Chain A
Amino acid sequence: GDSVTQMEGPVTLSEEAFLTINCTYTATGYPSLFWYVQYPGEGLQLLLKATKADDKGSNKGFEATYRKETTSFHLEKGSVQVSDSAVYFCALIKKTNAGKSTFGDGTTLTVKP
């Protein structure tokens, strides 16, 4: 079945450091890929998405490129802020999979001033 594997956390960075959170997937067909973020005490919210190979999703300084050849969708940000501290989830969905999104286990990011 489909699966998403995320870089294990927790990740601790200093403010203004470069961030990479790795995400690889296994899926047949042509999934859409997503990054969601969960701030403390809140639900998940969409951070960015890409619907086909070579698409780049971007939002709030975060970027991720859909790489079909390496089945990856790594999340990057050039300069993190304390306010970026949260749990980040990589996810995929296929329209043929009857509404079921597959999520990674989440990566906890803590940014220290």
Chain B
Amino acid sequence: EAGVTQSPTHLIKTRGQQVTLRCSPISGHTSVYWYQQALGLGLQFLLWYDEGEERNRGNFPPRFSGRQFPNYSSELNVNALELEDSALYLCASSSGQGTNTGELFFGEGSRLTVL
């Protein structure tokens, strides 16, 4: 069974640019979560999507946005990139809320460097 896949694995952008990160959840999972892992910091919750809807959002500015598609894959968009956006962006998936035990299944992440 394929795990959570993310793309691209690495990318370099300059300040002010925009980036789109992609995530495909485990087959059968309807919830997708995005986390930011900056160097030396823990995981910061960004967004939660379930059944195509944004269900919760962390304390990030509006230039961080995303969406979930009908096939449950997801995109994370970051506009007007700043140096401090450099981080590993992790996507995770889980089964629907009715059967969710709380366990998250993570992808390997997309490492974004902003110069």
A residues in contact (CB < 8 Å) with B: 32, 34, 36, 41-46, 49, 51, 89, 93, 95, 98-106
Please state if A100 and B104 are interface contacts (CB–CB under 8 Å): no
B103 proximal to A (CB < 8 A): yes
Question: Which residues of chain B in 5-57 are interfacial with respect to chain A, using CB atoms and an 8 Å cutoff?
Answer: 31, 33, 35, 41-43, 45, 48, 50, 55-56
Report if A98-B90 is in contact (Cβ < 8 Å); known contacts: A43-B108, A104-B42, A106-B42: no
Closest A-chain residue to B42, C-beta based?
Answer: A105
B102 proximal to A (CB < 8 A): yes
Question: Which residues of chain B in 66-115 are interfacial with respect to chain A, using CB atoms and an 8 Å cutoff?
Answer: 90, 92, 97, 100-109
Specify which chain A residues have a CB less than 8 angstroms from the CB of B107 in the assembled complex.
Answer: 43
A-B contact pairs, 8 of them (CB 8 A): A41-B108, A43-B109, A44-B90, A49-B102, A93-B102, A95-B97, A99-B33, A99-B50
Specify which chain B residues have a CB less than 8 angstroms from the CB of A42 in the assembled complex.
Answer: 108
Please state if B106 and A44 are interface contacts (CB–CB under 8 Å): yes
Count residues of chain B with CB under 8 A from any CB of chain A: 26
The answer for the CA separation of A51 and B58 in the assembled complex, in Å, is 24
Please state if B55 and A98 are interface contacts (CB–CB under 8 Å): yes
Neighbour of A32 across the interface among B31, B33, B92, B102, CB < 8 A? B102
Closest A-chain residue to B40, C-beta based?
Answer: A105
Interface centre among B42, B92, B100, B108 (most CB of A within 10 A): B42
Interface centre among B43, B48, B55 (most CB of A within 10 A): B43
The answer for the CA separation of A101 and B46 in the assembled complex, in Å, is 11
Report if A49-B106 is in contact (Cβ < 8 Å); known contacts: A89-B43, A100-B56, A103-B43: no
Please state if B42 and A99 are interface contacts (CB–CB under 8 Å): no
Neighbour of B102 across the interface among A34, A43, A104, A106, CB < 8 A? A34
Specify which chain A residues have a CB less than 8 angstroms from the CB of B103 in the assembled complex.
Answer: 34, 46, 49
List of 4 A-B pairs having minimum Cβ-Cβ separation, nearest first: A43-B106, A99-B48, A105-B42, A98-B56
8 more contacts with CB within 8 A, not counting A36-B104, A100-B45, are A36-B106, A44-B92, A49-B101, A95-B102, A100-B56, A103-B35, A103-B42, A106-B43
Minimum distance in angstroms from A69 CB to a CB of chain B: 22
